[in-house]
Amino acid sequence: MYSFSYFKENDQQALLDFIDEHPFAFVTGSFLNGTQVATQIPLLLVERNGELFLQGHMMRNTDHHKAFEENPNALLVFTGPNCYVSASWYSNPQSGSTWNYMSVHIAGTVNWMSDQELVNFMRKLTLKYEKGDTQSATIYDNLPEDYVGKMMSAIVGFEIKANHIENVFKLSQNRDEESYDNIISKLQNIGGDSASIANEMIKRKHAVFQQDGIEHPNN
């Protein structure tokens, strides 16, 4: 991971909020022979006794299920908006262009849920994304019994304790204020993910420039 102190988010709650807002994680692992597997799975964030856990489910007998049966070590990657940043927007454009992005990596081991734990998880998952609507026809408790029976036999639930958490919130913190402001303006004009990155930069500007005189290498 791109590891510079000025690209790190040190607020634990901000990291938890980021995970909650971007729950569709890239989950990677490997068989014992080194063959790698990857899938993308929506995950629920759970805190218990001051520890962080991620819960999800996957299809049985897929490559990732079989890999995690052999080797429970997993890496979860949560990503947010990202965008190109042209060096032509800097006060001194004689340097390389770059990419701004936000990402949280969590390493841990996969533990499989019991049947009842999977039921409890599916209740939470469906209700969360149906915005708490207990009348929704698609939450777990309102699905037809025969459908639930077939669905639940085809999936397996898992929980991963967050043993190690890293992050990169690369948002031009290493630029001078003139460049920083110009990057924001350019990204806002582009829109989409670029504008989302600009909004993050605006929220963080005061913290970035509150300590005058600190110089960072340009990257």
Tokens 């290493």 locate to 174
The answer to whether position 139 is within a domain reads yes
- What the block records as the tokens of 27 is 């989950």
CATH of the domain at 88: 2.30.110.10
Reduced to 3 states (helix: H, G, I; strand: E, B; else coil), residue 113 is coil
Report the domain count for the chain. 1
Tokens 């032509």 locate to 88
Per-residue pLDDT of the chain (219 residues; tens, 9 = 90+): 777 899 999 999 999 999 999 999 999 999 999 999 999 999 999 999 999 999 999 999 999 999 999 999 999 999 999 999 999 999 999 999 999 999 999 999 999 999 999 999 999 999 999 999 999 999 999 999 999 999 999 999 999 999 999 999 999 999 999 999 999 999 999 999 999 999 999 999 999 998 544 455 554
Cβ(56)–Cβ(157) below 8 Å: yes
The answer to whether position 217 is within a domain reads no
The answer to whether position 216 is within a domain reads no
The answer to whether position 189 is within a domain reads no
Q: Which domain holds residue 30?
A: 5-175
pTM, entire model: 0.90
The answer to whether position 181 is within a domain reads no
The answer to whether position 210 is within a domain reads no
**DSSP secondary-structure letter at 36?**
E
The answer to whether position 44 is within a domain reads yes
The answer to whether position 190 is within a domain reads no
Helices (H) and strands (E) in the chain, counts: 6, 8
